[in-house]
Chain A
Amino acid sequence: MSAPPASPGHQLPREHYLNATYGIRSWLLTTDHKRIALLYLVSVTFFFFIGGLFATMIRIHLLTPTGYLVTPETYNKLFTMHGVAMIFFFLIPSIPAVLGNFLIPLMIGAKDLAFPKINLLSWYIYLVGGGFVLYSFSTGGLDTGWTFYTPLSSVYSNSAVTPAVIGIFINGFSSILTGLNFIVTIHTMRSPGMTWFRMPLFVWAHYATSIIFVLGTPVIAITLLLAGMERMFHLGFFNPAMGGDPILFQHLFWFYSHPAVYIMILPAMGVVSEIIPTFARKPIFGYSFIAGSSIAIAVIGFFVWAHHMFLTGESTYAALAFSLLSYLVAVPSAVKVFNWTATLYKGSISYDTPMLYALGFIGLFLIGGLTGLFLACLGLDIHIHDTYFVVAHFHYIMVGGAVMGYVGGLHFWWPKITGRLYPEFMARTAAVILFLGFNLTFFPQFILGYLGMPRRYHTYPPEFQVFNVMSTAGASILALGYLLPMIYLTWSMRYGKVAGPNPWPATGLEWKTPSPPITENFPVTPEVDWEPYDFTHRPDISLTPGTPSLAPAHGDD
């Protein structure tokens, strides 16, 4: 950007939620959704580090075909603990509990969530659950795979399964309460004029996510409770030696854990739906279809779980039905991708950092989604089941999709959260590094899987080494891509340029209050009399050329 800054420098508001009260108690006992979001930000980042540490060790171990770093038993523990930390304690809470918590009340013009104390309780439940899991990690580890299949987890495993199961059980209630809070808030706390179809698509995505939180999480809770009791008291619900049914465990497990994938991806889709119109300077194409497809993904997502079990002993006819239903999820997902693309068409696109992440998301989600269709295909799945193809597929969705959305969203709303801008050049560099590193890490794994390298093995035939070395090299680039934002975002909290209320500018209600917002979010309850993503009829963010507000606030980068 070479254009000089068109608007005079902004000042931080004198009083906002960050300086309203001081001291450790004011944070640990806060009921402000914005502060709770920051508490979550710190704690999910911590678990991201833990999960990342295990991933690093896995990749180093796989540099050579025989693997010198760890023993086979330790390798089992590494991929299990990587999965548990990343899925239950990072990916699932990341966007909803951090960005959703911070933004939903702001976006619908409310002072807070409907139940602020329950919101704080969710965070404490998350900490207690996380504590149990860390206890398991540090006292013998966990080697069952993140799926906890019985009877391995309930009878035969010699690792610390019980505390891990208790931890995930407890953590489930954190998800349930967050989902409950969001659903009620979206129903009852909208400000005057904020009708359902004026809500930002980010809120729609979180509404769909919350439905899964509320309907899915209790099932994993009771399932892990039964598996844990089976282990502790030698019961036989899922143990074939005692007449129990291990397939039943898998059905119950995936009834939650497949929709859980949509818990991870739907909020990221919400983030992308906010970023794309802002940086294409166009109303989003097909608003109601994007909103409806979020709900459709959440609903259909509940009827596809058994595609994880094509080869673990379910009937052929069930497999046929679940294969068809799995194809069906591609429809609403494609609706979103087409609508984002149509929004970009003839848009006035600027490649700011959030936009780079959003565009990266579309590409990576496309690859992840389409390879999902390969896996939903019964015949093909027999060949690639339990290979690195699956690993690559779901990392394209979870890392390429969910984490890209999360990091992109953090950048997009960072000015709102902290009141300051991140350094744009650094941020763009990091986004490109992340994208390249990610693809170098995971694309070779598609090839490995197709050639037949099974997942979860600690050794492999020498002919696979070149792809594994590529993957490990990519992982180190990816790690750099994650460290950079952590450094410069932290730096910008003190030294970043003051952002002003609406730096991009974007259309949402959250941008109509100072950055950072006051504790009550808005000085007076806002009234909404405009349609969503309308850039043409809003004098405050008008599209007329030459208007000062059009110039990006970081113009001198």
Chain B
Amino acid sequence: MHRTGELYGQFQTLDQQRESATFGMWVFLVTEILFFGGLFLTYTINRHVYGVAFGVGSNTLDLKLGGFNTAVLIASSFTMAMAVWASQTGKKTQVTIFLILTLILGSTFLGVKVIEYSQKFEHHLIPGHGFDISYHSQNPSATDTPKLIQGEKEELEKALSRDPYLNSHTQLYFSLYFGMTGLHALHMVVGAGLLIWLIKQSFRGRFTPDYNTPVELIGLYWHFVDIVWIYLFPLLYLIDRHQ
């Protein structure tokens, strides 16, 4: 099929092309909801059955890093929305600037995720044969205060009295934690790749008020990935916080 300007041969008009592309993106997002849906269902059922273990697992996550990342992602959604707005109103330089900002924020999120994952690795919280929920309370690092370690030990003891298979069930929590955040992070990496392509195109001034579908569609995708995180954050970090 031949392409004339931005119009591909199978379409009659630019309107029809934009409508098809946008609708296609929405259908794709529906499949994504179902894709994540299987994971959320697995999470829901396991959390219902192993509430104690999920609470313990959740409390080992770093609330500050998680909260910071949530803020970063919401900010990136804002810059993405601004990029779409700028492309629709023909502000060509601003499109590029906002896209770069979005990319920086997205990369920040992924960087923080790396820090969080490596902490879990050090604390033997990676599911598998080496998994040990009590490892950190027995092998504290130099910076941990005795009070913190004492609190952790007490929490574990209390939980163990309610769930004798705590280690195995917290392992399930962490399988889901890595499964869900990992899949989310993978979507972020794909999104970052799309943003790099978009920035290149935008740098060449391709996006005008008449033709900005790619910005809009990748924007939709980016917002979707953000929304997934908005659900993941409370479900994984905020299960059993008291103080």
Chain A interface residues (CB < 8 Å from chain B): 31, 110-116, 176, 180-181, 183-185, 187-189, 214-219, 221-223, 226, 229, 233-237, 242-245, 248, 252, 520, 525
Contact = CB atoms under 8 A, between A and B. Distances in A.
Contact of A215 (B8, B31, B171): B31
A109 to B, nearest CB: 11
A221 to B, nearest CB: 6
A395 B71 CA distance: 54
5 contacts: A116-B8, A184-B20, A215-B30, A218-B34, A236-B172
Contacts of B16: 188-189
Contacts of B37: 218-219, 222
Given A189-B20, A222-B38, A520-B1, 12 more contacts: A116-B10, A181-B24, A183-B27, A188-B19, A189-B16, A219-B37, A223-B38, A234-B127, A236-B127, A236-B168, A236-B171, A242-B172
B123 to A, nearest CB: 18
Interface stretch (B39-47, B145-153, B199-207): B39-47
Given A112-B10, A234-B129, A235-B127, A219 B35 contact: yes
Contacts of B36: 222
Contacts of B171: 235-236, 242-243
A242 B128 CA distance: 11
A242 B20 contact: no
Nearest to A238: B42
Contact of A184 (B12, B27, B46, B176): B27
A184 B172 contact: no
Contacts of A116: 1, 8, 10
Contact of B128 (A189, A218, A234, A520): A234
Given A234-B129, A242-B171, A243-B172, A184 B23 contact: yes
B168 A252 contact: no
Contacts of A31: 1
Given A113-B10, A236-B168, A221 B35 contact: yes
Given A111-B1, A243-B169, A215 B34 contact: yes
B119 to A, nearest CB: 19
A273 B9 CA distance: 31
A101 to B, nearest CB: 14
B34 A219 contact: yes
The DSSP consensus for interface residues of chain A is helix
Contacts of A229: 179
A115 B42 contact: no
Interface of B: 1, 8-12, 16, 19-20, 23-24, 27-28, 30-32, 34-39, 41-42, 45-46, 49-50, 127-129, 165, 168-169, 171-172, 175-176, 179
A223 B169 CA distance: 20
Contact of A233 (B8, B23, B128): B128
Contact of A245 (B20, B45, B165): B45
A415 B110 CA distance: 55
The DSSP consensus for interface residues of chain B is helix
Question: What 10 A-B pairs have minimum CB-CB distances, sorted nearest first?
Answer: A222-B38, A218-B35, A112-B10, A218-B34, A114-B20, A235-B175, A188-B20, A184-B24, A218-B31, A111-B10
Nearest to A220: B38
Given A112-B10, A525-B12, A214 B30 contact: yes
Given A110-B10, A188-B19, A189-B20, A252 B175 contact: no
Given A184-B23, A226-B42, A242-B168, A114 B175 contact: no
B223 to A, nearest CB: 19
Contacts of B45: 245, 248
Contacts of A219: 34-35, 37-38
Nearest to A252: B38
Nearest to A181: B24
B9 to A, nearest CB: 7
A219 B129 CA distance: 28
A510 to B, nearest CB: 17
A187 B8 CA distance: 17
B24 A114 contact: yes
Contacts of B11: 114, 189
A358 B165 CA distance: 59
A184 B50 CA distance: 42
B27 A222 contact: no
Contact of A180 (B1, B10, B27): B27
Contacts of B9: 111-112, 520
Nearest to A33: B10
Residue among A114, A115, A245 facing the most chain B CB atoms (10 A cut-off): A114
B226 to A, nearest CB: 19
A230 to B, nearest CB: 8
B187 to A, nearest CB: 13
A311 to B, nearest CB: 21
B22 to A, nearest CB: 9
A252 B37 CA distance: 10
A236 B127 CA distance: 9
A214 B25 CA distance: 12
A421 to B, nearest CB: 30
B20 A237 contact: no
Contacts of A183: 23, 27
A110 B12 CA distance: 9
Residue among B1, B16, B128 facing the most chain A CB atoms (10 A cut-off): B1
B109 to A, nearest CB: 22
B186 to A, nearest CB: 11
B116 to A, nearest CB: 19
A110 B37 CA distance: 35
Contact of A226 (B19, B32, B38, B168): B38
A222 B12 contact: no
A237 B10 contact: no
A226 B23 contact: no
A188 B175 contact: no
B10 A189 contact: yes
A214 B27 CA distance: 8
A233 B168 CA distance: 14
Contacts of A113: 10
Residue among B8, B12, B19, B27 facing the most chain A CB atoms (10 A cut-off): B27
Contacts of B46: 237, 243-245
Nearest to B28: A180
Contacts of A218: 31-32, 34-35, 37-38
Contacts of A187: 20, 23
Residue among B10, B127, B179 facing the most chain A CB atoms (10 A cut-off): B10
Nearest to A244: B172
A111 B7 CA distance: 14
A217 B179 CA distance: 19
Residue among B9, B37, B127, B175 facing the most chain A CB atoms (10 A cut-off): B175
B35 A252 contact: no
Contact of B41 (A114, A214, A252): A252
A222 B165 CA distance: 27
Contacts of B42: 226, 237, 248, 252
